Amino acid sequence: MDYTWLFQLAWIIPILPLISFLIVGFLGAKFSDKGGMIAIALVGAAMALSLAIAYAALTGGLPSHGAEGAYYTDTIDWVVLGSGFTLSIGIFIDTLTALMLIVVSFVATLVVIYSIGYMGEEGDRRRRYFTEISLFVGVMLGLVLASSFSLLFIFWELVGLCSYLLIGFWFERPSAASAAKKAFLVTRVGDVMFMIGLFILFNLFGTLNYVEMFDPEVLTEVDQSLLTWGCFFMFGGAIGKSAQFPLHDWLPDAMEGPTTVSALIHAATMVKAGVYLVARMFPLLVHSYEWLPLFIAVIGVVTALMAATMALNSPNIKRVLAYSTISQLGFMFLGLGTGAYLFAVGIYEEGSLGYSAAMFHLMNHAFFKALLFLSAGAVIHFVHTEEMSKMGGLRKYMPITSIVMLLGAISIAGIPPLSGFWSKDELLAVVQSAGSDNWVFYLLYAMGVCAAFMTAFYMFRMWFKTFTGPEGEATKHAAAHMAHDDHGHKEMEHAKPGKIKEHTPAVMTVPLMLLAVLAVFSGMAALFFFGTPFYGIIFFEEPIVETGAEILENVFTAWTTYLSIAVAAGGIGLAYLAFYKKSIDVDAFVNRPAVKPLYNMLLARYGFTKGYDWVGVKAVYGFSLVLDWFDLHVIDGIVNGLARGTAKAGRGLRRVQTGFVQTYAGVVVGGAVLMMLLGYFILVLLGVVRPW
């Protein structure tokens, strides 16, 4: 079936949320409290169109271009220079675009709906919130649909701006203002690297358009060294945006914004942009030197393991989820790096599966991470604290939230048949398989398994501490208020537990339940409806496609699958013994002399926060002082010296202005004599005339 007419409408997708941005932002006063409904309507319309286009792309509706793969593109000339250079803008749709359209549009729509309840007490600030959210969604969709790295970079910077505005939404709080600035400045480091990479690649290709850059004939002829370094610097942009080591420390602080913003950033927008960038430049990576894909895989697994350790003892529910996001993004980079390495050494089937598993995990992660963050938002909305030590016993008052958050925790832990299992297991299996070509991948696999064990442990630590056990201070306080609101002054403890209903409003619980369904079934749905999930790697020959039955057979006959399940079950079991049954004395363990320093180091994030401050105060500020001295004494000294010299020369020449004709005549004659002598000496030096 010809879907060209549908693909031609794709440019409308980012326009719809941007219209919401304009209406709510500039005309919102005329619509009173309807800003949220306008945002829901237009973002929802963008979602409907996105899902239709994604379905068409994933079911074989993309135009085929032979060896170059299947894709649709439509561009217009934007800047035309006399030298023949043309900068074009437009849309580009392939299966990677389709995947990202599903993730961004669907999660964003649910977050906007959820925000109606979560931000209901913000009063006039809701207008600014929905304005910024609409802009955020619009520019992220534009980034996904961009037809060139130059247009992608424009939207990339706008995504950074939106994150700054939303992280600092409560700007009157010093912590929120500081977190927004930190996120903006740290990601700028990566963005500068991204820009350097674009300059290198533009110098190499003469263009930044995907179709021209990814041409197989062109890629086989370019300088491999320049291509590798261009991709390296572009990966620096992904490190900053996706909070990978060593630019990871901004993301935990970004939790100062509303929880809905955290859900959007972590599940569908900003941090996923870095993974999307690496996936988009995958055709370039596989033609680079082998060390670069290996480097990407190493950065990914180091980040996954480090972030997992920091989540083990974090007392803040949102920061546990933030560390979890950093860690899961690391898994995605591990898969992409491994896949690109395998392609680079000629192992195409496993390389294709590495790419597919990474992007499959991106999709699954979007659903269960949005579920986890929005569930945490419902908890915070009820107890008005983020500290888990003050919670406990919330299952009694939030039964729906506790169930859906439990499903999200099981999914991210990697327990079959929930969605997280399918993508994480396949990803780790590809890494283990790559070890037969390079032993380093065996080490990366072992590190990934350790990170998976910690993931299961800290996610269930969070769930047990939040929903089970004795009621904490915040839980009791919230329950008393709920009792007062619902039953007069009757104390909650006198009510029968079976009669207590979910405190969270329906506008918040319905999105949670939809996300819970996806956290459970998205993996199986993708497998059985699309075969190898989102296999399309453009500009390669026939992609590797497996049916759902073939994948099931491969999964459940591999020893890595059972190790993965055992590791996840072990992490859950340890958390159960420590935080539910209390058969392990956690306090006594962490207070041991050998453990306490490590415990404190994890709370201090390995010292990265202080390290950033040291770099800012000592290195950057110190260098600024040096530049300030150079500016005052050298630059200004030269300029001021020239000015003083000119003024002094002027004062000297002023004395010549006597008003007497004979004086002027003498000056003219003297000048003429000097010019004649100067000309004579030049002729002598040139050998034209002989000296006396």
Residue range 249-302, pLDDT digits in tens: 999 999 998 999 999 999 888 899 999 999 999 999 999 999 999 999 999 999
pLDDT bin (cut points 50, 70, 90) of residue 493 is very low
Lowest-confidence pick of 45-49, 94-98, 440-444, 478-482: 478-482
Residue 584 DSSP code: S
466 in the same domain as 372: yes
Residue 130 pLDDT exceeds 70? yes
Q: Give dist(CA 259, CA 480) in Å, integer.
A: 24
pLDDT bin (cut points 50, 70, 90) of residue 491 is very low
Which domain, by its residues, includes 672?
A: 661-692
Give the 3-state secondary structure of 216-274: HHHHCCCCHHHHHHHHHHHHHHHHHHCCCCCCCCHHHHHHHCCHHHHHHHHHCCHHHHH
671 in the same domain as 562: no
User: Do the beta carbons of residue 3 and residue 56 sit within 8 Å?
Assistant: yes
Residue 547 pLDDT exceeds 60? no
The tokens describing 440, both together, are: 């380093």
pLDDT digits (tens, 9 = 90+) for 325-339: 999 999 999 999 999
pLDDT of residue 26: 85
Indicate the SS3 state at residue 369: helix
Q: What is the mean pLDDT of residues 499-504?
A: 62
- Position 357 in a domain: yes
pLDDT of residue 539: 47
Q: Where are the alpha helices (DSSP H) in 391-439?
A: 399-413, 419-434
Q: What is the mean pLDDT of residues 113-141?
A: 90
pLDDT digits (tens, 9 = 90+) for 222-238: 999 999 999 999 999 99
- Partnered with residue 89 across adjacent β-strands are 76
**The total number of structural domains that make up the chain:** 3
pLDDT digits (tens, 9 = 90+) for 418-450: 999 988 998 999 999 999 999 999 999 999 999
Q: Give dist(CA 432, CA 354) in Å, integer.
A: 11
pLDDT digits (tens, 9 = 90+) for 374-385: 999 999 989 999
Q: Give dist(CA 191, CA 188) in Å, integer.
A: 5
Lowest-confidence pick of 28-32, 206-210, 512-516: 28-32
pLDDT of residue 81: 72
Q: Give dist(CA 43, CA 39) in Å, integer.
A: 6
Q: What is the mean pLDDT of residues 18-29?
A: 87
- Position 441 in a domain: yes
Indicate the SS3 state at residue 80: strand
Question: How much of the chain exceeds pLDDT 90, in percent?
Answer: 56
Domain finish residue from 545, 560, 589: 589
Q: Please, what is the Cα angle at 483 between 480 and 485, to 5 degrees?
A: 110
552 in the same domain as 483: yes
Indicate the SS3 state at residue 87: strand
- Position 142 in a domain: no
User: Do the beta carbons of residue 554 and residue 560 sit within 8 Å?
Assistant: no
Considering only residues 35 and 116, tell me which one the structure prediction assigns the higher pLDDT. Answer: 116
630 in the same domain as 561: no
Q: Give dist(CA 508, CA 36) in Å, integer.
A: 14
Sign of the C-alpha dihedral, residues 442, 446, 452, 455?
Answer: negative
643 in the same domain as 512: no
Q: What is the mean pLDDT of residues 108-136?
A: 90
- Position 132 in a domain: no
- Position 403 in a domain: yes
User: Do the beta carbons of residue 144 and residue 98 sit within 8 Å?
Assistant: no
Residue 553 pLDDT exceeds 90? no
Residue 137 pLDDT exceeds 70? yes
The tokens describing 189, both together, are: 């480091």
Q: Give dist(CA 595, CA 582) in Å, integer.
A: 19
Indicate the SS3 state at residue 480: helix
Nearest to 366 by CA among 419, 414, 438, 292: 419
Residue 86 DSSP code: E
pLDDT digits (tens, 9 = 90+) for 506-536: 888 899 999 999 999 988 877 766 555 444 4
Burial 443-453 (b: 16+ CB within 10 A, else e): ebbebbbbbbb
One-letter amino acid of 641: G
Cβ within 8 Å of residue 595, ≥6 positions away: 589
509 in the same domain as 410: yes
pLDDT digits (tens, 9 = 90+) for 34-82: 788 999 999 999 999 999 999 998 888 888 777 677 889 998 888 777 6
Q: Give dist(CA 179, CA 77) in Å, integer.
A: 39
- Position 303 in a domain: yes
Sign of the C-alpha dihedral, residues 14, 16, 21, 26?
Answer: positive
Sign of the C-alpha dihedral, residues 666, 667, 673, 674?
Answer: positive
Domain finish residue from 536, 556, 589: 589
pLDDT of residue 548: 58
pLDDT of residue 483: 62
Nearest to 69 by CA among 539, 534, 543, 544: 539
pTM: 0.88
| Residues found in the chain | 692
- Position 437 in a domain: yes
Considering only residues 110 and 507, tell me which one the structure prediction assigns the higher pLDDT. Answer: 110
Q: What is the mean pLDDT of residues 452-470?
A: 95
Indicate the SS3 state at residue 75: strand
Domain finish residue from 532, 563, 589: 589
- Position 395 in a domain: yes
Nearest to 352 by CA among 443, 282, 277, 297: 282
676 in the same domain as 548: no
571 in the same domain as 620: no
Q: Give dist(CA 143, CA 127) in Å, integer.
A: 25
Q: Is 358 exposed, middle or buried (0-12, 13-18, 19+ CB in 10 A)?
A: buried
User: Do the beta carbons of residue 437 and residue 342 sit within 8 Å?
Assistant: yes
310 in the same domain as 325: yes
pLDDT of residue 501: 62
pLDDT digits (tens, 9 = 90+) for 342-394: 988 988 888 888 898 899 899 999 999 999 999 999 999 899 999 999 999 99
649 in the same domain as 575: no
pLDDT of residue 497: 45
pLDDT of residue 65: 76
pLDDT bin (cut points 50, 70, 90) of residue 124 is confident
In whole numbers, what is the pLDDT of the chain averaged over residues?
87
Question: How much of the chain exceeds pLDDT 70, in percent?
Answer: 91
Cβ within 8 Å of residue 196, ≥6 positions away: 233, 236
493 in the same domain as 371: yes
Alpha-carbon distance values, 618 to 188, 417, 607 (Å): 19, 51, 16
Residue 172 DSSP code: T
423 in the same domain as 484: yes
pLDDT bin (cut points 50, 70, 90) of residue 125 is confident
